[in-house]
Structure 1
Amino acid sequence: MANEVNLNRLAVFAALVRAGSFTRAAEELGMTKAMVSQHLARLEQELGVTLLMRSTRRMSLTEAGAIFHADCVRILADAEAAIERAGESRDAPRGTLRMTTSLDYGIAVVVPKLASFMRRYPAVQVDLVLSDHITDVIAERFDLAIRGGWLRDSTLRATRLGSFRQLLVAAPGYLAEHGTPRRLDDLAAHGAIAMSALPAPLRWVFTAAGGARRTMRPRQAAQANSAAAVRGLVLAGTGIAVLPDYLVEEDIRAGRLVALLAQYRLPEGGVHAVYPGRKAPAKVRAFIDHLQGEMAPRATR
């Protein structure tokens, strides 16, 4: 029965035929001559055929042995090629990198960095899936997920890439109509745009310069299930909102949005790369290293 054959004996048999004698095969394999003979005898027993005719001076393949030897050479060559390909996958970035991140972070941060990564690693093809839902990395066969915020407990491995600040913002037109909040108590007069995907979208924790904390729960004017949609509503003048810096910094510089209550800090969020398995493949490690290098100025400012 094929499933009763010890496949390691195929390499011994091929080495024996290649060497032409038990003595030279034993030297090549680093084992005793008796052990080589024992492997051959057991292989013949497992196959139920005679592979070699042996005399005191020479050995020769039987007809079945010649056919089997040709198959062994092909099988061993295929195995060596498979091992080499696996090693290349381990040591050099190649293949398809299937990754996911949120819509807003993907468009604002990840996508701009993909071009330089792909130029640097032309053997890697990228399959990027943007979604504001927390995906199951293993079930959906992702190599990597980039997640912002606060990580949940998970069996996935995580590498910190950087961080982002949360900013309270509003459009100039909205502030002209409703007034600009100067103190935390002023927030009661304003409607907030909630990011409904968060577990507590309207629980804002402000920290003063001296370290004192105060939690505010503003009145909801509207909600949306993505940060990009919340930003759009704020730009349209429908209310105030807390949004990540990477999404609104350009709007603040351009005057489209105004940062409010700058004397307080909101909690910083982390940005992590998460992936399954104990050791990330080369393509995953390469992209993580690339992002860390690109995000270093943001992470250290």
Structure 2
Amino acid sequence: MDKLNAMAIFVRVVERGSFSAVARELQTSQPTISKVLQALETQLGGKLIARSTRKLSLTDEGQRYYQQCRHILAAVDAAEHSFQSGREKVAGPLKIGSSVSFGRLQIAPRLPEFLKRYPGIQIDLQLSDQNQDLISEGLDVTFRIGALNDSGLIARHIGNTHRITVAAPEYLKQNGQPLTPQELSQYNCLMFNLLSSQNLWVYESQTGQRHEVRIKGNAQSNNSEAIREMVLGGLGIALSPLWLFSEDLKAGRVIAILQEYRTLSLPIHAVSPANRRQSARVKAFVDYMAQALENAPELKPVK
């Protein structure tokens, strides 16, 4: 038995929570995965996984062995990477995660040029407006906007999302235009409810004075493109990423208001699992996206 391979399979089964998921990932059968783990348990002299009809759970010994296997596999991986540094081919599968709007508007349009540079890569772009679990979903890298709460991840800051306050001309014609942040409390404000500060909008005046406004409104969503549609429909005012409304601003479909006040920008991070080294293809893609976002006019602050 190849013990190192068996350890790697054991770790993947724990992380995916399923024999069949790992079998599909490795393009083999579920009985084959099961036999590998049974052989490993026999060699160790004890059970690693308590199997049930609903889910897999680790025994106490299995939990300790899992943590040790992660460290061992990471060390082996790092040693190989150190030896192969500079010689690794930029090719193979690359599974990327992102929020729906950012993935559709900022990642997907840039994939053709990236794949021209690296034709040996096969991309799987997974979009979700919930924070994706990198391990259980098998992601190599995901892009997150806003403060990071999980310190156990490898994160690289690759840009900032600058935000603007926008409304449709029809809404402002009917309701008037707020001239200060405090006046927003009198308007129907549309909330993106995945941010921890969804109903607290923060502005800074040109003199550096901070303005915190508790807003309220009759509609909210966990999807920023849904917020955009509400704004375009004249429902209310939104504080949203500039890149979401850049074309609408040019076409006059929305108007930027309160431009005399700065809003807090949100950092953009490329995030990878801490126990998995970044392959050449992950590094190539993150480098490519960092450069692309640095040069993107819709991600630069409004002047």
Whether these two folds match at TM > 0.5 is yes
Which residue does the alignment assign to 1:236?
233
Query: CA offsets per residue over residues 161-183 of structure 1, 9 Å max, x none?
Result: 11111111100011111111112
Task: Give matches, 1:137-286, under 5 Å.
Answer: 137-276=134-273, 277=275, 279-286=277-284
Task: Give matches, 1:1-301, under 5 Å.
Answer: 91-276=88-273, 277=275, 279-298=277-296
| Contact 2:157–2:269, Cα closer than 8 Å, also in 1 | yes
Aligned letter for 1:91?
Answer: E
- Over the matched positions of the two proteins, sequence identity in percent amounts to 35
SS at match of 1:220: coil
Q: Are the structure 2 counterparts of residues 88 and 118 from structure 1 closer, same or farther at C-alpha, using a change threshold of 3 Å?
A: farther
In the alignment of these two chains, the number of paired residues is 220
Aligned letter for 2:244?
Answer: L
Cα offset, 1:254, TM superposition: 1.0
When Rg is computed on C-alpha atoms for both structures, the one with the higher figure is: 1
Aligned letter for 1:283?
Answer: R
| Contact 1:157–1:278, Cα closer than 8 Å, also in 2 | no
Cα offset, 1:285, TM superposition: 0.3
| Contact 2:162–2:300, Cα closer than 8 Å, also in 1 | no
The answer for unaligned runs of 5 or more in structure 1 is 4-82
Q: Give me the CA root mean square deviation.
A: 2.3
Query: CA offsets per residue over residues 142-170 of structure 1, 9 Å max, x none?
Result: 00001111222321101111111111110
Query: CA offsets per residue over residues 100-155 of structure 1, 9 Å max, x none?
Result: 10001011101111111111111100000010000110121100001111222321
Query: CA offsets per residue over residues 249-271 of structure 1, 9 Å max, x none?
Result: 11111101111100111101111
Cα offset, 1:278, TM superposition: 5.8
Query: CA offsets per residue over residues 201-220 of structure 1, 9 Å max, x none?
Result: 11001101111101001222
**TM-score (norm: length of structure 2):** 0.68
Aligned letter for 1:286?
Answer: A
Shift >6 Å, 4+ stretches: none
